[in-house]
Amino acid sequence: MKIYNKYIAAIAVSLVLASCKAPMATVIQDDVKNNIPENFNQNEQQDVNNNSGTTPWRQFFTDPNLVSLIETSLKNNQELMITLQEIEIAKSGVVAKKGKLTPTVRAGLGAGLKKAGRYTSEGAGDASTEIEPGKEMPDPLGNFEGGLMANWEIDIWKKLRTEKDAAVAHYLSTVEGKNFVLSNLIEEVADNYYELLALDNQMDIIQQYIKLQTRALEIAKIQKQAAAATELAVKKFEAELAKSKATEYTIRQQITEKENQINALCGRYPQPIVRTKESFMSTIPQTVYTGIPSQLLANRPDIKQAELELKAAKLDVEAARKEFYPTLEISATLGLEAFKPSYLVKMPESIAYNLVGELAGPLINKSAIKANFQTADAKQIQALYEYDKTILNAYLDISNLMSKVKNIDQYYQLKSQETQALDQSIDIANQLFKNSRADYLEVLLNQRDALDAKMELIEAKQKQLSTVVDIYKSLGGGWK
């Protein structure tokens, strides 16, 4: 019998050890992060100690109207509010995982009734049992109980701690996600604000052009009466005036939509956007300092979010791998139990307790555990690709925007020269037309070219300002 028991024990130990076999997770290497370039532009050295991404947004934006809009959006924006709730959800997940590390204790009351067959071992035993001299066991037999029940999974493989650490990493990633939403929101408000100012200035230009066209039409009519021009010239000027008025209404609609877009970002119903359009064309863009590429890892919240999600994914793989190991659970109960409520107060006879320890591990049909592990392993690799993609895109964003800042500045300077030259040509063409020394087509073409150049100049100024905002956000600015 002793030899038989030894065999049983040996088999049990062998089965437990067999259940401890677990597959290895994929070993991943982050080549993108390790090989990040030292500078954004290999021909230029960046100042490590000067990075605009660390500048608080209140210092970066100086327009008080824009600052007020950003403040309103940070208080009311619905997308930001949704993100804040995601943080609360992730925080609850951490609390839930942490709770699994401690015993679960419950209190309970119960009552029941049981009738055992007379010709069964239980029924025969109850019938022959005397509770007190001359008193037999009641039939049917009641059961009344109350007490405490505890259950505790001992974290012998630190699986539960790993799950908690994964939940913490995910929670921290949602915090960085909120910071990224803040950065995007500030950028979006600023970009739309500058686009609105550009539309205001284009409205002023088109209205000036309408006045110019009205005067040109009047001159054409006078010259027709004096036989110095034809009806064709009059109709051409009328068509050009109608076209300009139609453009004015198009810009009006664009202004309305842009105002409502800003109001939507501010989480409020349509209302006028307070702004000062007169100083728009004279606004000098902020000087942006990029620092070095490695600083993006600490400044950009989307990179930090992706890094934390990668950490959480690695911990999830580790926790899924530990599912192959046996689990040790301890359960205990302590309370009072009797077949009659009045007997519950009779102690120690009514005291009941139970203590059980169980070590068990998966042995056969591990397909669900294997599938869970393979899923976690694939998500880990996916998280690495997402992290690498985020770093790479951030670097390319900065590189593109640095080039754009330089090129848009040159573009703006040349457009300014073009506008000045065309303004002078309009005056010359108008004088020649009044003196019948120039054709009406020359006047129209000069006016159209000047209008297009001024519109493009305004767009260039808007792109100048928006590009600076974009590079500020791409450097990780805005959320601090």
Could you report the per-residue pLDDT of 329-340, keeping only the tens digit for each?
999 999 998 888
CB 292 within 8 A of CB 50: no
pLDDT for the residue numbered 372: 94
Q: What mean pLDDT comes out for the span 24-41?
A: 83
Q: What pLDDT is attached to residue 44?
A: 62
Q: What is the 3-state secondary structure (H, E, C) of 368-405?
A: HHHHHHHHHHHHHHHHHHHHHHHHHHHHHHHHHHHHHH
Cβ contacts of residue 386 below 8 Å, gap of 6+?
A: 306, 309, 310
What the block records as the tokens of 55 is 């500048």
Residue 42 pLDDT > 80, yes or no?
no
Tell whether the model's pLDDT for residue 475 goes beyond 80: yes
Tokens of 5: 């028991």
Q: Output phi, psi for 337, to 5 deg.
A: -150, 135
Residue from 290, 305, 297, 291 nearest 36 by CA = 297
* Whole-structure pTM value: 0.85
Helix (H) or strand (E) holding 408: helix 367-434
- The separation between CA 150 and the C-alpha centre of its own chain, rounded to angstroms, equals 40
Least confident of 128-142, 200-214, 268-282: 128-142
Asked whether the predicted pLDDT for residue 466 surpasses 70, the reply is yes
How far apart (Å, rounded) are the C-alpha atoms in residues 320 and 380? 12
8 A C-beta contact, residue 330 and residue 152: yes
Cβ atoms of 333 and 149 within 8 Å: the answer is: yes
In this prediction, residue 178 carries a pLDDT of: 96
Centre a 10 Å sphere on the Cβ of residue 209 and count the other Cβ atoms it contains.
22
**Digit-coded pLDDT (tens) for 366-409:** 889 999 999 999 999 999 999 999 999 999 999 999 999 999 99
Length of the chain in residues, anyone? 480
Q: Give tens-digit pLDDT for 293-331.
A: 989 999 999 999 999 999 999 999 999 999 999 999 999
Q: The sheet that has 141-154: what strands, in order across it?
A: 104-114, 141-154, 327-338, 351-360
**Mean pLDDT in residue range 260-268:** 97
Q: Which of 38-42, 219-223, 352-356 has the lowest mean pLDDT?
A: 38-42
What token pair was written down for 263? 């109001």
Task: Work out the pLDDT band at 256, boundaries 50, 70, 90.
Answer: very high
Closest C-alpha to 446, from 203, 214, 216: 216
- Give the model's confidence band at 7: pLDDT under 50 very low, under 70 low, under 90 confident, else very high: very low
Mean pLDDT of 21-33: 81
Report pLDDT for 233. 79
- Residues 420 and 430: their CA atoms lie apart, in Å, by 16
Segment 183-207 shows an average pLDDT of: 97
